[in-house]
């Protein structure tokens, strides 16, 4: 097959280009360094700052007794009567005043739901939950108020650490759903105005308990 001079000229240029390396025009944009800077403060402080920026409510508790006092006071102040919680150990941790309001038969009409979590991600202020928890897929989504109880040893700095921890915990049996909840539900689809609580809870609380 005859090759035209102009085409042969183009092919020569391509062959020459392929045999010679071309310098990167913007070497600093190649991603050799992490986009995110390493942590500069304690994970508890970083999480609290990021979480509250997203309209989350953060409460730090030194021990179980302080958790019970703070949680009981919150529920009595708001007069929440129906507390949905499917994790018995959390109800025991929350105390008798909260357990007395427990109702696991009707999520749709509950005032508040209580769940644990897999991890808290400090850099983004996110709660990591999964279908592997006793609370299941829906508990943190359908209640108007979501309360998450976590321990300081569940704090990680970045999402990658949370995912790695999940892999190590569940091995080859990863839960069918892993959720990253970052503050209350919000959307700007309605006339480009930010509205909170359309697709999920209007308020999200994190009670972080110091691990013994």
More confident: 209 or 8: 209
* Residue 150 near residue 208 (C-beta atoms within 8 A): yes
Residues 106-117, mean pLDDT to the nearest whole number = 90
Q: How confident is the model at residue 54 (pLDDT cuts 50, 70, 90)?
A: confident
Rounded Cα–Cα distance for residues 155 and 10 (Å): 58
Q: Give, in order, the Cα–Cα distances in Å from 189 to each of 47, 58, 195.
A: 28, 27, 8
Per-residue pLDDT tens digits for 62-81: 999 999 999 999 999 999 99
- The region, left, alpha or beta by phi > 0 then psi within -120 to 50, assigned to residue 59 is beta
Q: What is the pTM assigned to this prediction?
A: 0.76
Percent of the chain past pLDDT 90, that is, above it, reads 49
> For the chain, which domains are there?
41-182+195-209 (3.40.50.10420)
The pLDDT score that the predictor gives to residue 48 is 93
Q: How confident is the model at residue 117 (pLDDT cuts 50, 70, 90)?
A: very high
The pLDDT score that the predictor gives to residue 137 is 72
pLDDT at 1 exceeding the cut of 90: no
The pLDDT score that the predictor gives to residue 8 is 77
Rounded Cα–Cα distance for residues 126 and 12 (Å): 55
């Amino acid at each position: 097959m005859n090759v035209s001079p102009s085409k042969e000229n183009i092919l020569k240029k391509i062959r020459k280009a392929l045999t010679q390396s071309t310098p990167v025009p913007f070497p600093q944009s190649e991603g050799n360094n992490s986009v995110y800077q390493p942590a500069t403060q304690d994970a508890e402080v970083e999480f609290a700052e990021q979480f509250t920026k997203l309209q989350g409510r953060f409460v730090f508790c030194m021990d179980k007794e302080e958790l019970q006092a703070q949680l009981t006071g919150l529920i009595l102040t708001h007069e929440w009567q129906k507390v949905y919680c499917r994790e018995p150990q959390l109800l025991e941790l929350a105390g008798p005043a909260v357990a007395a309001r427990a109702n696991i038969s009707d999520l749709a009409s509950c005032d508040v739901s209580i769940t644990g979590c897999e991890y808290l991600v400090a850099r983004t202020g996110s709660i990591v939950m999964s279908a592997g928890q006793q609370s299941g897929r829906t508990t943190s989504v359908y209640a108007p108020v979501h309360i998450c109880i976590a321990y300081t040893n569940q704090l990680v700095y970045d999402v990658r650490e949370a995912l790695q921890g999940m892999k190590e915990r569940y091995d080859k049996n990863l839960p069918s759903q892993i959720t990253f909840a970052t503050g209350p539900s919000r959307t700007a689809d309605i006339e480009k105005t930010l509205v909170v609580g359309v697709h999920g809870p209007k308020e999200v609380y994190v009670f972080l308990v110091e691990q013994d």
